[in-house]
Chains A and B, each alone.
Chain A
């Protein structure tokens, strides 16, 4: 079992819809959870991080964390074609807070 699991997609949603991206992790001691966005041929960039159970909102983005279920999600409201990218879930290791494991990423396609 991989440490951080994501569906590689592609996930296709129409413009204006809500995109829901999901991630599960295996290390119960993990404390920090990240979502990175990576456009094709570019480098990853951080868009959200979350530490506590519940929701964290930033503009059109909401990160959700459920530590009991070892589940992290990212919701993108009012999806735009410019949101089309691969979204990487990342989780820190309980043994070293800077050591981060990335999921394979989910490719999101927003259809105009």
Chain B
């Protein structure tokens, strides 16, 4: 199994630009989570989906952030416009709805200049 796949692994962009992060969950998993990790705030849940439906987006910091899951094998997290304070590592994780363990992808390190 390839595990959770995220792309790109690194992204450097300038303030005001649109950023799109991508995630492919483990085949067969029906829950998908987006997290953000910083030194100051740790690992924070942004949004999660069950069966492609957003269940809780209360962690999305601002309207600049949006997430979609058009099908069971693909999700995107978009930031528009990006700001320097968005710089962080963004993780995608997947699991079975009935299971406890979340499997994390390798993360995308985002730097906004």
Contact = CB atoms under 8 A, between A and B. Distances in A.
Interface stretch (B15-23, B78-86, B96-104): B96-104
Interface in B85-109: 91, 95, 97, 100-102, 104-107
B56 interface: yes
B100 A32 contact: yes
Contacts of B43: 44, 88, 102, 105
Q: What does DSSP make chain A's interface, helix, strand, loop or mixed?
A: strand
B75 interface: no
Interface residues of A, number: 18
A58 B27 CA distance: 28
A98 B48 contact: yes
A100 interface: yes
B42 A105 contact: yes
B48 A99 contact: yes
Contacts of B50: 98
Given A43-B91, A98-B95, 17 more contacts: A32-B100, A34-B100, A42-B106, A44-B43, A45-B104, A46-B102, A49-B100, A88-B42, A88-B43, A96-B56, A98-B48, A100-B102, A101-B45, A102-B42, A102-B44, A104-B42, A105-B42
Interface of A: 32, 34, 42-46, 49, 88, 96, 98-105
